[in-house]
Structure 1
Amino acid sequence: MSNSILYLIKNVFSEPAFLIGMVAIIGLAVQKKKAGAITSSAIKTMVGFLMITTGAQSMGMALLPLQPMLIKVFNLNVKIPEIGNAIGASFTEIGVETTLIFAIGFMVNVLIARFTKFKYVHLSAHVSFFYAGLIAALLKFNTSLNLALIVIIGSILLGIYLTFTCAYIAPLMKHIKGGQGFTIGHSSSIGCLISAGLGKVFGNKDKDLEAIKLPKGFEFLRETTISLTVVMSLIFLIISLISGPSFVVSNVSNGRDIITFSLLSGLNFGLWITVIITGVRMMLAEIVPAFHGISNKLIPNAIPGLDVPLLFPNHPTSVLVGFICSLLAGFVGMTILGLLKYPIIVFPALIPTFFTGAVTAIFGNATGGRRGAIIGSFVNGLILIFGQALLLPLVGSYEPVMRVLSETDYTFYGPLLGRLLRLLGI
């Protein structure tokens, strides 16, 4: 493959904002819109997308100060790698395989959407890139396949994954407020499916978590930004008190007292959810009409698969309940593994716990109300911790990323694929 094509894959098509902008351009171009309208819409789409992704990433990063405090509370001897270092270390051995699987796998997804009844185009490029890394790692470290076969098999697997995870989530979207016109393209898909199923069996959808009545004096908490800011400030304060104010001041808060630190952490969280809300409105206003062009002209009846933060503004209570339940489940699972003397130490990774916990609670609430949200997100947390323990021995140099970013699909499908490859003895 020529250097120019590799350059395009690495530096253009691997940038999610460019990919989503190209979708807007193509969709409007086939509708024969004027150049000015296409340019304006593409820019708004990319800016809105960046607001969502930057807000989501920053919101996840805002949780990281909780990590050393929780390690202190549970008296653990565990070191969690920093995200940037984890990504750099993980791709040293599988960078080429990952890049090629990512690019060709997306093309497989588009071809499946074009020529089969599964009309789903997965547009969360950052999700598919890291999942391409997982597939590359499982194929490289559990088989003796050469580069060409790893790329061919990996691309087919990724294309199937991108298509069918969007497909089985799509029917559930009719139950989700704010979920019309798209499906979810995210590596929490199996958690969402399981949570919705558990909610249907054990819950009561009439008891909506988002419809909890508040006393008159607290009705201001119904606004997403305010409720998340207040609750996250309280969470930081409570955990700071439990871990010890002196420890927090010395090791976490850069010298700030725990009250100031907790309030600023909550405000920072509120800031990023507000950025996400603004980005969601901007991007959906542009990408949905643009995608109609693709749906009508290029891939009939195509449906875009988009990232989970698009659902957060309409479900603030589920977001918080899901995070807390998944986190508690992670600690329960960690304790069980410790009692069993499991040889690999795992600790709940806060960023995937937040995002997968939040969205699984949304789906559990949609089918089973409060009980569905709690049960679904708690089970999600168990899948994250037990699945990670099973996955880490299978991924070789990709372990650092899987310690900090392994979401539910990684920890559910990853061990299954890895064990299958070893069983086949390829």
Structure 2
Amino acid sequence: MEVIMYLIRNVFSQAVFIIGIVVIVGMAAQKKTWDQILPSVIKTMIGFTMINVGGQTLGVSLLPLQTMITKIFNLPEIPVDIGAAQSESLSGIGTEMALIFALGFVVNLLLARFTRFKYVHLSAHVSFFYAGLIAALLKFGTNLSFVPLVAVGAVLLGTYMTFSCAYVAVFMKEVKGGEGFTLAHSSSVGILISSLLAKTFGNKEHDLENINVPKKLNFLREMTISLTIVMTILFLAISLLSGPAWALKNVTGGQDILVFSFLKGLSFGMWITVIITGVRMMLSEIIAAFHGIANKIIPNSVPGLDIPLLFPNYPNSVILGFLTSLIAGLLGMMVLGLLNYPVVVFPALIPTFFTGAVTAIFGNAHGGRRGAIIGSFVNGLILIFGQALLLPMIGTYAPIMRILSETDYSFYGPILGWILKLFGGM
């Protein structure tokens, strides 16, 4: 048992190893030789690491904004240390979470093999934290003992992994660069809602990515450049609103706010470049390797991959989606404040960036500019109101959810909590 727990916590909880194993299995099924498999595995794992590290660092670089916005709205200080929050959150549910994560993946593979829903969820970092949410809801909301709790949790996780990939796949057909895979990410319900709203209220002919700009501003079409400029302006504006002297003392470490903002913008642009490079490297290998699994092991299966794979084709949507979801979250926060809601909530900026970006991408793909705005705005509201409902339900798991609570956590979490309450804690 100790060996199994070691492998779950140290090997299978690392998404990069899952990706590497998938490539090995897929290429071995195609009868490739070791000298063909090894370089492909290494390139895929490096590409994935570039996407993963780039995405995480990109998100962490936004955290100073959260500190300054908290000051602007005179809110109680909310911790933003991801490592400390994760350690605190896992203290009460670590074993249950690890087993639900591992067995949930097995359930996903079985569903993909023996049902018509042929989707293999490969974003292990996503399913790992979702396993924590399920473990927390079951542990703090039911009277289940250890074994039934893990069994129920694994079925819930595996079902979520399979069907979230499945309904996102329905809307992937209209998305540029989305061929050959679906998305495995905890923004899936945001993607679903955004796509449906965009189809209903949007206009596909007004594509956000086809905005006419003067020739001399054509450089803004390049995602690295446009994001660098936008993030520099955003950091500078928030620094000024929070008070330059206060920001100098509490956020920038004594660095002039103009220099601080420009360096943050450059860092953001650099990590976006890392992500884009990783996307190209990973996609060129894993799609070909997965054909072996789709042909020989799980017939007709489709891999579920992470959302940054779509970012290179939608630079305007990424920017607009983040800003629109942030505005919606801040408005939602003010509404909760006016209602004297007992739990203090704040738009978590890492989820706001990634889920806002991808809901705008799908909104734009299905309903143009209007679809992107509507989809990402509704996404921001789900993030803030859902977090407000979720936090009282999950006990010690609350600190990490304050930082990483994405759309699926905020939407499905309270629903599962209410269902458990309805059945009297089972």
User: Normalised by the shorter chain, which TM-score bucket?
Assistant: over 0.9
Q: CA deviation at 1:174?
A: 0.8
Q: Aligned pair 1:27/2:22, yes or no?
A: no
Alpha-carbon separation, structure 1, partners of 2:324 and 2:189: 17
Alpha-carbon separation, structure 1, partners of 2:141 and 2:241: 43
Aligned residues: 425
Runs of 4+ aligned residues of structure 1 deviating over 3 Å after TM superposition are none
Query: Quick check: 1:81–1:400 contact (8 Å CA) kept in 2?
Result: no
Q: Aligned pair 1:57/2:51, yes or no?
A: no
1:177 paired residue number: 176
Alpha-carbon separation, structure 2, partners of 1:75 and 1:374: 28
Query: Quick check: 2:205–2:368 contact (8 Å CA) kept in 1?
Result: yes
2:136 paired residue number: 137
Q: 5 Å matches for 1:277-316?
A: 277-316=276-315
2:252 paired residue number: 253
Q: 5 Å matches for 1:313-392?
A: 313-392=312-391
Unpaired stretches in structure 1, ≥5 consecutive residues: none
Alpha-carbon separation, structure 1, partners of 2:166 and 2:67: 38
2:208 paired residue number: 209
1:67 paired residue number: 66
For the residue of structure 2 that corresponds to 1:93, the secondary structure is: coil
1:231 paired residue number: 230
**Per-residue Cα deviation, 1:341-385 (whole angstroms, up to 9, x for no partner):** 111010110001111001000010111111110111000000000
Query: Quick check: 1:10–1:99 contact (8 Å CA) kept in 2?
Result: yes
Alpha-carbon separation, structure 2, partners of 1:361 and 1:410: 19
Alpha-carbon separation, structure 2, partners of 1:356 and 1:98: 24
Query: Quick check: 1:60–1:354 contact (8 Å CA) kept in 2?
Result: yes
Amino acid at match of 2:247: V
Alpha-carbon separation, structure 2, partners of 1:113 and 1:77: 46
1:99 paired residue number: 98
1:406 paired residue number: 405
Alpha-carbon separation, structure 1, partners of 2:302 and 2:410: 26
Alpha-carbon separation, structure 1, partners of 2:134 and 2:346: 23
Query: Quick check: 2:55–2:271 contact (8 Å CA) kept in 1?
Result: yes
Alpha-carbon separation, structure 1, partners of 2:213 and 2:60: 30
Query: Quick check: 2:63–2:80 contact (8 Å CA) kept in 1?
Result: no
1:115 paired residue number: 114
Alpha-carbon separation, structure 2, partners of 1:107 and 1:161: 12
Q: CA deviation at 1:14?
A: 1.0
Q: Aligned pair 1:9/2:8, yes or no?
A: yes
Amino acid at match of 2:119: Y
Amino acid at match of 2:142: T
Amino acid at match of 2:350: I
For the residue of structure 2 that corresponds to 1:65, the secondary structure is: helix
Q: CA deviation at 1:81?
A: 4.0
For the residue of structure 2 that corresponds to 1:391, the secondary structure is: helix
Alpha-carbon separation, structure 2, partners of 1:31 and 1:193: 35
**Per-residue Cα deviation, 1:20-64 (whole angstroms, up to 9, x for no partner):** 000000000010101011011011110000000000001111111
Query: Quick check: 1:99–1:129 contact (8 Å CA) kept in 2?
Result: yes
2:420 paired residue number: 421
Q: Aligned pair 1:196/2:195, yes or no?
A: yes
What TM-score do the two structures reach when normalised by structure 2?
Answer: 0.99
Q: CA deviation at 1:239?
A: 1.3
Amino acid at match of 1:114: R
Unpaired stretches in structure 2, ≥5 consecutive residues: none
For the residue of structure 1 that corresponds to 2:344, the secondary structure is: coil
Alpha-carbon separation, structure 2, partners of 1:42 and 1:342: 50
Q: CA deviation at 1:77?
A: 2.1
1:79 paired residue number: 78
Alpha-carbon separation, structure 2, partners of 1:197 and 1:124: 24
Pick closer, same or farther for the CA change 1:362–1:255 going to 2, 3 Å: same
Instruction: Give the stretch that moved more between structures: 245-254 or 286-295.
Output: 245-254
Amino acid at match of 1:34: T
Alpha-carbon separation, structure 2, partners of 1:30 and 1:16: 21
For the residue of structure 2 that corresponds to 1:145, the secondary structure is: coil
Amino acid at match of 1:65: P
Alpha-carbon separation, structure 2, partners of 1:33 and 1:243: 58
Percentage of matched positions with identical amino acids = 65
1:146 paired residue number: 145
Instruction: Give the stretch that moved more between structures: 245-254 or 113-122.
Output: 245-254
Amino acid at match of 1:279: G
Query: Quick check: 1:78–1:345 contact (8 Å CA) kept in 2?
Result: no
Alpha-carbon separation, structure 1, partners of 2:251 and 2:213: 34
